[in-house]
Amino acid sequence: MAEYSVLVAEMAQARIYTLESSEAPEVENSPYLVEQKSLTNSEREASDSQVWTDTRRGANREHQSGQGAGGTAGIPHHNYDEHRDNNERMVIQSFANDVVTELKRVVDSQNVKKVVLCAEVQMLGFLRPELDALPGDKVQIEEVPKDLTGFSAHELHKKLADDGLLPPQKRPQSLS
């Protein structure tokens, strides 16, 4: 059982941790973060050229010859931009749903009482609507609008403890 869970997320990856206590705090640092799940948004990680290649032959030839849509010279058309933006939003929303589904599993299985949610601001916007899946009467959510996905578990724990969001790690007492 873990009282705290930490979710760090950005558009392409997310990791879910729980704060665990050592069975032998007299010899090990305690508490400490344990990674429970790592998720990757593979569609977001794929390069734009892989995801957005226009496979129709000659699709850009009109631009190269100076002819835009309808024969207008020099006027580029951007009819794919809106579709691309909508598709990207759907990919990120689906990833946010997957992340919160996994977070809910951890919260339920570990009886978590507090979730510290660390995500870039845009990703927070995708995660918030999905958080309704968590039992709001039982789980407190603390938001940190920062991308901390690059931090190691130890660095993340120290940062969040320094900010007063997690209990600090205690060093073992010397056995002298």
The secondary structure of residue 135, as a DSSP letter, is -
What is the per-residue pLDDT for 87?
85
- For 84, the token pair is 């691309």
Q: Delimit the domains of the chain by residue range.
A: 1-48+85-176
Closest CA to 160 of 174, 146, 139: 146
What is the third-level CATH fold of 1-48+85-176? Nucleotidyltransferase; domain 5 (3.30.420)
What is the per-residue pLDDT for 55?
44
What is the per-residue pLDDT for 176?
46
What is the per-residue pLDDT for 18?
97
- Cα–Cα distance for residue pair 40/34, rounded to 1 Å: 18
What is the per-residue pLDDT for 174?
53
What is the per-residue pLDDT for 21?
84
**pTM for this entry:** 0.74
pLDDT tens series, the chain, 176 aa: 789 999 999 999 999 999 998 665 454 567 899 999 999 998 765 444 444 444 444 444 444 445 544 555 555 555 556 667 788 899 999 999 999 999 999 999 999 999 999 999 999 999 999 998 888 788 999 999 999 999 999 999 999 999 999 999 887 655 44
Greatest CA separation found in the chain?
87
Helices (H) and strands (E) in the chain, counts: 6, 5
Collapsing DSSP states into helix, strand and coil, what is residue 165?
coil
